[in-house]
Amino acid sequence: MQNNRHNQRGLTLLELLITTGILMITITLTLPSLTSVVGNNQLNATTDTLRKAITLVRAESIKRGHRVVGCLSDKPDACNSSRPLQLLVFSDRDRTGDPTTTGDLIKIVELDYPTITTSYNRSYLAFSPLGYASGTNGTFKVCHRNGQGELLVISTLGRIRKAVDYDGDGLVEKTPGTPITC
């Protein structure tokens, strides 16, 4: 019997330990940045979903020729912004700010990520048949639990704008010099 070491295949224990060590170091260095990327993607996805929902509220009010409301809620039949999981879009002919019948409900837009909180500075957002938002400018704040946030500002004319970082410090600001806090 001849033992020829050149024909043997496999890894030695030392090679396996070195490879595992390099892999662990790589994972340790990249995990925080991956978490940040995932948080940014969730934040952007929620903000885009909210922007589309606001556009739907406005378009429905123009199409239907009467007041349509969008409100944050945790249940499908009434506005309740304490822990919003969705945005209700409904006809509000009686101007109560809540859907009075199931027929009033146009759409329920799910806000999918449990790591995201969404708030609005009013109890609801209403658009007139001309596409104008009721009252003064409204602001939706979307915050991730990592501290990052976005603002959607709705003008009285129905225009939606996303707040930006005016001074380049990495913080989104509603107006120059006023960063949002999450």
SS3 for the chain, per residue?
Answer: CCCCHHHCCCCCHHHHHHHHHHHHHHHHHHHHHHHHHHHHHHHHHHHHHHHHHHHHHHHHHHHHCCCEEEEEECECCECCCCCCCEEEEEECCCCCCCCCCHHHEEEEEECCCCCEEEEECCCCEEECCCCCECCCCEEEEEEECCCCEEEEEECCCCCEEECECCCCCCCCEEECCEECCC
* CATH 3.55.40.10 corresponds to the domain 37-179: yes
Can you tell me the mean pLDDT for 53-81? 92
Note the pLDDT of residue 105: 93
pLDDT above 60 for 2: no
Confidence of residue 83 (pLDDT cuts 50, 70, 90): confident
Residue-wise pLDDT tens digits, 122-141: 889 999 999 999 887 889 99
Output b/e per residue, 133-172; b: 16+ Cβ within 10 A.
bbeeebbbbbbbeeebbbbbbbeeebebeebeeeeeeeeb
pLDDT above 90 for 164: no
Note the pLDDT of residue 12: 87
Question: Residue 153: what residue type?
Answer: V
pLDDT above 90 for 165: no
Task: Please provide the average confidence, as pLDDT, over all residues in the chain.
Answer: 87
pLDDT above 90 for 155: yes
Confidence of residue 6 (pLDDT cuts 50, 70, 90): low
Q: Give the residue with greater pLDDT, 1 vs 120.
A: 120
Confidence of residue 4 (pLDDT cuts 50, 70, 90): low
Can you tell me the mean pLDDT for 104-121? 87
